Chains A and B, each alone.
Chain A
Amino acid sequence: MIFSFSLPAGGNLLIIGGNGAGKTTLLRFLSGNLLPEGGKILIGGKTLNELEPRTVCYVPQQQDSVMFPLSVEEVVGLGIPKSEKQHAKIIAAALKRMGCENLSGRSFSTLSGGEKQKVSIARCIAQNAKVLLLDEPTSALDESSRQAVTQILKSLSVKEIPTIITVTHDMVFAKELGWQSLVIGDAA
C-alpha cells in the first residue's frame, strides 16, 4: 500500500475504513511498531527515531490480560521516566484530569471498556505525549461509554495533547467528533 498524507500541528484526524482496510496497520506504522518498506514518517519534521522517547502514545485495541494484571497506577505510570521524582503526583493528576480518581488501586483488567480507555488516555497525558494514537477506541463500548470517550477526546486541549489520530469504523463516533477524516478503502 502506498500512502501519503500530512496533518498540520495541533490538528486531529480520524482514519475511517472498513475491516481489513489497513487502518490499524497505518497506526502501527505511526507508532513505530511496523517499519515502512520505503518513504518516511515525519512528526514535527523528525523521523520516529529522531523523536524524544514517549512523544507518541499508542493505545491499541487489546490491552493487558487477565493473568498477572497491572494496577491502574502502574498502567498510567508506564510512560513516566524512571528518573521522574514526581511520579505519584503525575499519575494522580492524570487520573484526576480524566475523572477517574475513583479507579485508583483497582486492577486494570477489571475495568470496563470505557474505564480502560480513560486510564489509557491518562497514561498518555502522564507521559506528556505530543501525539495520541487510538485504535478503535469505541469498539465494544456501550452507548454511554462511547459518549464519555467522545467527550473526553473533544475536551483534550492542544496543550495537553496537540495531535490526536483515531482509527475507527464507528461512523456515529466519527460524526460526533467532527474532525477531518481520512478514508481508507470502502468506508461504507
Chain B
Amino acid sequence: MNNLFSALTLAPVLRGFIAMLISGAAFPLCGVMVLRLNLIPMRYMLMHGVILGGAISLALSLPLMPVTVAVNLILVFVLLALSKDDTQGFGVGSAAAMAVSMALASLIIHKAGVTANNTLNLLWGSPFALKTSDLMLLGAISILLAVYVIVNMRTILAIFYNREVAQSLGIHVRFHYVVMVILIALVIAVAMKYSVRF
C-alpha cells in the first residue's frame, strides 16, 4: 500500500491514475450504448479508424489525438449519411469501413515509410505517458458523456427499451441516436490511447 502511495507522488503515475478513475467511471456508459443500440460492429470499425488516424498522424507528423478523433467522426458521419436504416447497427457498412480504414492505414504506412510497430505503439499507449492536456481532454469528454446521460436519462431509457415505442412517445430518436454514436466515436478515440495497456 505504501508503495502505491509513493508511486502516486510521481506526476506521470498520478495522471495515469486519475485517467483510470475518470475513464473507469464514465466510459462504461458508452459500453451500455454500444450494446443496447447494437453497435458492436461499429465499435470495431472505430478501433480501426484509430489505427488509420495513428498512421496519418505519424506520416504527417501531426498530433495523434485530434487526428484520430477527426477520422472517427468522419467515419461515423459517412455511415450516418449513407445508411437509410440504422436499426441494425450499421453491420455491413461498419465492416466495409473497417476494411477501407485498414487498407488506407496499410497504404500510408507503406508509402510514408512509417513503421507499423510505431503506429500500434501509439495506439496501445500508456496512461503513464499522458500530458496534462490529454487529461483535460479525457475529463472534458467524460463530463460531456455523463451530463448527456444524466440530463436525458428517461429519454435514453425509452430508446433502449424500444426505439419504435420511443418514437411513438414523441422522442426524437434519430437525433439522440446520432448524439450517442458521436459520443461513442469520441470515447473510443481517446480510450484507445489512454486506457488499453497498463
Interface set of A (CB-CB < 8 Å, partner B): 28, 31-33, 53-54, 56-60, 62-65, 67-68, 70, 74-75, 78-79, 82, 127, 133
Residues 152-166 of B at the A interface (beta carbon under 8 Å): 154, 157-158, 160-162, 164-166
| 9 A–B contacts from the bound complex (CB under 8 Å) | A28-B164, A53-B170, A54-B169, A58-B165, A60-B165, A64-B161, A67-B35, A68-B35, A78-B165
- The docked-state distance in angstroms from the alpha carbon of A33 to that of B170 is 10
| Known contacts A56-B168, A60-B162, A64-B161; 10 further A-B pairs (Cβ under 8 A) | A31-B167, A31-B168, A63-B165, A65-B36, A67-B35, A68-B32, A78-B157, A78-B161, A78-B169, A82-B154
Q: How far is the CB of A172 from chain B (nearest CB, A)?
A: 27
Q: How far is the CB of A6 from chain B (nearest CB, A)?
A: 21
Are A54's CB and B165's CB within 8 A?
no
- The docked-state distance in angstroms from the alpha carbon of A56 to that of B167 is 10
Q: Do A68 and B164 contact each other (CB < 8 Å), given the known contacts A54-B169, A78-B169, A82-B154?
A: no
Name the contact of A31 in the complex, choosing from B36, B154, B160, B164 (C-beta under 8 A): B164
Q: Mark B129-167, 1 if CB is under 8 A from A, else 0.
A: 000000000000000000000000010011011101111
Interface of A is mostly: loop
Q: How far is the CB of A162 from chain B (nearest CB, A)?
A: 17
Are B157's CB and A53's CB within 8 A?
no
Contacts of B164 in A (CB 8 A): 28, 31, 33, 58, 60
9 tightest CB-CB pairs across the interface, nearest first? A53-B170, A58-B168, A31-B168, A33-B164, A78-B158, A33-B167, A60-B164, A63-B162, A67-B35
- The docked-state distance in angstroms from the alpha carbon of A62 to that of B161 is 10
Closest chain A residue to B32 by CB distance?
A: A68
Are A68's CB and B161's CB within 8 A?
no
Closest chain A residue to B160 by CB distance?
A: A68
Contacts of B32 in A (CB 8 A): 68
- The docked-state distance in angstroms from the alpha carbon of A79 to that of B165 is 9
Among B154, B157, B161, the most chain A Cβ lie within 10 Å of the Cβ of: B161
Q: How far is the CB of B155 from chain A (nearest CB, A)?
A: 9
Contacts of B162 in A (CB 8 A): 60, 62-64
Q: How far is the CB of B151 from chain A (nearest CB, A)?
A: 11
Closest chain B residue to A108 by CB distance?
A: B161
Q: How far is the CB of A118 from chain B (nearest CB, A)?
A: 16
Q: Mark B106-117, 1 if CB is under 8 A from A, else 0.
A: 000000000000
Q: Do A67 and B168 contact each other (CB < 8 Å), given the known contacts A62-B162, A74-B157, A75-B161?
A: no
- The docked-state distance in angstroms from the alpha carbon of A68 to that of B32 is 8
